[in-house]
A and B are shown apart, each in its own frame.
Chain A
Amino acid sequence: MPRRILPVPLAALVSLLVGPAVSAATAAPVDYTRDVKPIVTQHCVRCHGAAKQEAGLRMDTAEAILVGGDSGPLVKAGARDQSLLLKIIAGPHEDIPQMPYKRPPLGADEIAKLRAWVLAGAPAPEKEEPGVFVHWAFVPPQRPTPPEISNSQSAIRNPIDRFIVARLAQDGVAPAPEADPITLLRRASLDLTGLPPTPSETAAFLADRSPGGYERAVDRLLASPHYGERWARPWLDLARYGDSNGYSIDAPRQIWKYRDWVVAALNRDLPFDQFVIEQLAGDLLPAPTVDQRVATGFNRNTQINQEGGIDPEQFRIESVLDRVNTYGTAFLGLTVSCAQCHDHKFDPITQKEYYRLYAFFNNTVDDGHGKSNPGGTLDFRGELPPPDARQREIEETRAELERFLNTHGAAVTAWAAGLHQHEKNKLGATAREALGEPWEQLSLRHKRALYAAFPGATADFKNRNAQLTRLERNEAKPVSTLVMSELPAPRESFLFIKGDFTRRGETVAPGTPAVLPPLRAEKPNRLDLARWTMDPAHPLTARVAINRIWQQYFGRGLVETENDFGTQGEAPTHPELLDWLATEFVARGWSQKAMHRLIVTSATYRQSSRARPELELKDPINKYLSRQARLRLDAEIVRDVALAASGLLVPKLGGPPVYPPQPDGVMNLGQVKRDWRPSTGDDRYRRGLYTHLWRATPHPALAVFDGPDGFSACTRRLRSNTPLQALTLLNDAQFFEFAGALAKRVRAEVPAGLEAQLDHGFRLCLARAPEPAERARLADLYRQQHAAAAGDEAARQDAAWLIVARVLLNLDETITRE
């Protein structure tokens, strides 16, 4: 048996914060300091403590609780179970409403602890320091020593496993065995690159019998450019990335250079502190590079309201508020947005502190209407997006129109030459410019203008001209991207009373919440905020970041509320591991790749995900990681896997968003009906990451699998499981096309032998070979479909294989990381 492990750092922290040392490991059934005081300090002392004594009551020491307030002592000496404390936490009592006042009632577990303490006579520690509860997340992580695990049968591959095995051992649980090699390879491939292993990668992996084969595979995957694509996506979720302006008009915008910056930065393993600093304040770095300015697109992913009749200042302010809220969610893991209208109800963030954060972001040139903001857009002059079908159509229409116009050139020139001056004056500016020039030297623009004024202009011309004008409205514009750009002098910032921008309160200067370490700078700007955020001594940043990485691998974070490290959030399941990882992240120079490698090479990660019914009651949601998790793939990766399996995937990196086909009519759901012309050629088969995200009308095949909408920072995607997903995989034209391609590919690569073909198809989707029963079921299906199909043998095979391929792409396992 492994030694029972004391959670030393937590115990140390607790005793540090709440007074005399009563070890967390004390065996007593209920210990005031360990069990009761944290509950009381979290739920009661805000109103009944040093600052406020509602109903004349203090509860910040056990002594004070025994004394009680206006309604008398909280603990009854004789009939302890009749104590007031127990009554008011159970429900309303006479004149006293249920406590905590206007808040969710205490959990059964918490009530049980308070009850046990009261029934035990409410023993109070001596010389108790009044509870000023400092929430764990506001205390910088101290680097814990990984627990010693002796005599363990369990695999310990790195320090992560020590923490996990030690916690499991407290419940007498051993970790799950390692997953089989193919599952492991598919898991790591999907987790690190978002693509399944190819059959040859799988074969090579199985053939490599020398030690360290898995680690080598991990290194290969981390070096793949697809790593950046896969890990960009959760970051873009956080950045609320989208390719349109949102709100009602939802006009398109160009900010894909920012998306490409994220992919590239991840691929070159830009240290996380630099990664964040450049995104928050790259424009303020000394002599910023173009890349560093592109990075500031992070904060330009705010929506722009182009609706008529708005007050632009209101929506400029909305953008700034969104930046503050996103900053709080993304980096601090706190719900700072709650303090927009009033002091935060639960966390130590005042409304004034909210607006001090606001003051950092309130000084950029962008406006609320998205109209004029010199400096807010970075132009890449001369860089045009590669021609797409739309562009080709424009060019063809132009050429056709020009041919048409040239047949009338002589007539128009003759007409123009005969015009009187007063007639010339009536022409439009462009047509006037064209007068007197030889027809052959006129630009198409001039020819169109002149011919339009020509009395002999035909209706046919008018139609063609109008059509071209319509097309040109959507013509690709030179590449640009939205960036942050500071005003020469900062705007004055105010607190907004009740969050209403029309009600200005006091003026506020930029600053950070007092509960966090001080920001030492004379007149701090956004860059100072960014550097402060990434200070290794910051209690939140590294924890929040590593927890978000962790949740991608295990389906939930060590702190389950990945967006709330405040007092209302869940406590970490493994506080020491969280702190160890956070400090390790810093110690490894903020290398994200190093942390990924550490996690995916741990024995914890390598466990089988098979359910363990014997632990169903003990740990029904697998909080303590006695196995891996089966996770349905993210929306984009559902697509990527089908593309990869069918052989259609075009693995090109970066560039403007693409338009894979989607059902007709989707774009009608927004206020403004936008065009969706399906990409042709390579762009039809690009990874889901590159699909144009219209905020008002996201691509349905992504939205149905919980793809983000880009309206606000998304820190964790839901994993729903719905009939609409089934309809998508079964019937969507693109997935049907993928199935057709998969069917062809299988037979091209394995020309004969049904079983070998089935095995190959299975491997393309799932990496593994089918088990005999699975193979038999598919063979049955094939024979059934073959028999029922019409036509010659080739047609019957096609028809049967199409169905088999559809089945393979629809399997739960295909869209799941096991």
Chain B
Amino acid sequence: MLPGNPPEDLCRQTRRHFFSRCGLGLGGIALASLLGKSPLRAAAAADAPLANPLAPKPPQFAPKAKNVIFLFMAGGPSQLELFDYKPKLIDLNGQAVPDSLIAGKRFAFMDSSHGTKLLGTRREFKRHGRSGAWVSDLFPHTAKIVDDISIVKSCQATLFNHAPAKLFMNTGSGQFGRPSMGSWVNYGLGSECQDLPGFVVLQSGPRGPRGGAVNWGSGFLPTTYQGVPLRGGGDPILNLSSPAGITVERQRQTVDAIRDLNLKRAVATGDAEIHTRIAAYEMACRMQASAPDLIDLSKESAATLNLYGIEKNTPSFGRNCLLARRLVERGVRFVQLYHTNWDSHGGPGENLQGDFEKVCREVDQGQAALVQDLKDRGLLKDTLVVWGGEFGRTPMGENRDTTGRNHHIDAFTMWFAGGGTKAGVTIGETDELGFNAVADPFHVHDIHATLLHALGIEHTKLTFRFQGRDFRLTDVHGHVLHKLFA
């Protein structure tokens, strides 16, 4: 167990710490706080890092990455239209899928006759960069960064309905109640940033991801570690703005009075938890001050805004990519972007033609810009960028209004950049129809193990005891894909 059971350890540490230095009578405290220069206040400030469960903690071994940006393509993007080029599938377009591939398999929408005919892509594929990676015409910007990323074509998942699968990709389990990877990481490493949450979630696209808050929930870990959604409109963080009529000064004076009275109570009760609360109010004030600055893009150069394709300051995936860079710049440990809708079944709004082109356009420039920008600023070496959805799509067509593709868990593509990963390689292979991973299978559990490895955490050793059992992000599974690292 890496960080210990924080609440208890912390209580012990801080309480002892508190009693060792704070043998002051109430009168003295009151006087001191009236004078505005409290020795106790200094003591409380010194206590704050101890009392803060998000204080940075050392990794288990030298990390390759400090931060993670996870670009979650919600709905399951079609690898066959983007990265996994299968000429044979094009040749066999319209033919029945070999029984050997689908015998005994279960798919989503099993109850309907959505077709079992192979569907070749209509997209143009070309090799790009020095690495010669295959990328389709739908991702022209991404094609330009292939020499900076590792494309893994052999990803695999277990569950094939959206909500359970998304939960699985985020928590390593299709069951509710497990912590998400971002909260595990914050639990393991704390945060380098003390005026923003350590795990921030940004969303774009027509709708929220299925399952909602459980995708970034902290499960049985303390809620301190849960993801905080940064909102596209209104306050970037819920209740970040002071109420109308409460100026910065009045807010500060309010919090000062709360602090002084809480400190008195801390002395009267000897409860270290009050110090944690005082620290929380201080951080809340810092968040109030720094979050508006975070989302203020006015100081970004025109070149940067152009790079990301940001024309106006409205919510978009591109803007979220820029915010992700600004977040890791400020030391936020785990940033997760969700973009919907990749669920290309072929129905209205979900076809593989115009709708798919649209969603590709929405992400392409931003994601490429993010990698480029991180690289230009020297942040890429410390930041692991992960791109992918909860699963991929079938090589068979699915007949709805148009021909789309069904959910597929046996092989799909994700890509990785920075954080010590290799640049310009393709890892893993699928069979000639793109149905199964035939080399370097990279299961969700392995992805988690690898992600933690990049951060300097051995995945079997990051545990939290709950219900009498030591739980891990990777449950009892997970192998690090060492090939991925340079």
Contact = CB atoms under 8 A, between A and B. Distances in A.
Interface of A: 104, 247-248, 250, 305, 307-311, 335, 338, 346, 502, 561, 563-564, 566-570, 609-613, 616, 620-621, 630, 632, 663-666, 668-673, 695-698, 700, 703-704, 706, 709, 711-712, 718, 720-728, 730-733, 736, 771-774, 776-778, 780-781, 784-785, 788, 799, 803, 806-807, 810-813, 818
A727 B238 contact: yes
A305 B163 contact: yes
A697 B212 contact: yes
Contacts of B265: 811-813
Contact of A561 (B214, B261, B467): B467
Interface of B: 8, 11-12, 15-16, 19, 26-27, 29-30, 33-34, 106, 108-112, 161-163, 175-177, 197, 203, 207-214, 217, 220, 222-224, 228-229, 231, 233-235, 237-243, 245, 249-251, 253-255, 257-258, 260-262, 264-266, 268-271, 273-274, 276-277, 280-281, 283-284, 287-288, 407, 467-470
A486 to B, nearest CB: 26
Given A733-B243, A771-B26, A727 B233 contact: no
Contacts, number: 235
B420 to A, nearest CB: 29
A632 B272 CA distance: 13
B223 A704 contact: yes
A247 B162 CA distance: 9
A785 B249 CA distance: 10
A340 to B, nearest CB: 10
Among A247, A568, A698, A781, find the residue whose CB has the most chain B CB atoms closer than 10 A.
A247
B262 A781 contact: no
Given A104-B470, A812-B265, A665 B250 contact: no
B212 A807 contact: no
A777 B16 contact: no
B314 to A, nearest CB: 14
B261 A611 contact: no
B238 to A, nearest CB: 5
A309 B238 contact: no
Given A564-B467, A611-B15, A806-B254, A250 B231 contact: no
Given A616-B16, A728-B239, A777-B260, A248 B211 contact: yes
A244 B192 CA distance: 38
Contacts of B229: 669
Contacts of B223: 704, 706, 718, 720, 722
Given A335-B467, A726-B280, A310 B108 contact: yes
Contacts of B260: 777
12 contacts: A247-B211, A305-B161, A308-B109, A616-B16, A669-B203, A671-B209, A727-B284, A730-B284, A731-B240, A731-B241, A777-B261, A799-B245
A247 B163 contact: yes
Contacts of A718: 220, 222-223
B273 A663 contact: no
Nearest to A562: B467
A317 to B, nearest CB: 13
Contacts of A563: 467
B213 A703 contact: yes
B112 to A, nearest CB: 8
Given A309-B110, A777-B33, 6 more contacts: A616-B19, A669-B203, A700-B238, A712-B177, A773-B29, A781-B253
A496 to B, nearest CB: 14
Contacts of A721: 224, 273, 276-277, 280
A188 B406 CA distance: 58
Nearest to B281: A726
A618 B260 CA distance: 31
Among A609, A704, A723, A726, find the residue whose CB has the most chain B CB atoms closer than 10 A.
A723
Contacts of A776: 30, 34
B468 A564 contact: yes
Given A630-B269, A812-B277, A673 B261 contact: no
Among A250, A335, A561, A724, find the residue whose CB has the most chain B CB atoms closer than 10 A.
A724
A245 to B, nearest CB: 11
Contacts of B255: 730
B251 to A, nearest CB: 7
Contacts of A250: 212
Given A620-B12, A709-B213, A311 B269 contact: no
Contacts of A612: 270
A732 B162 CA distance: 33
Contact of B30 (A564, A566, A695, A777): A777
Contacts of A611: 15, 19, 269-271
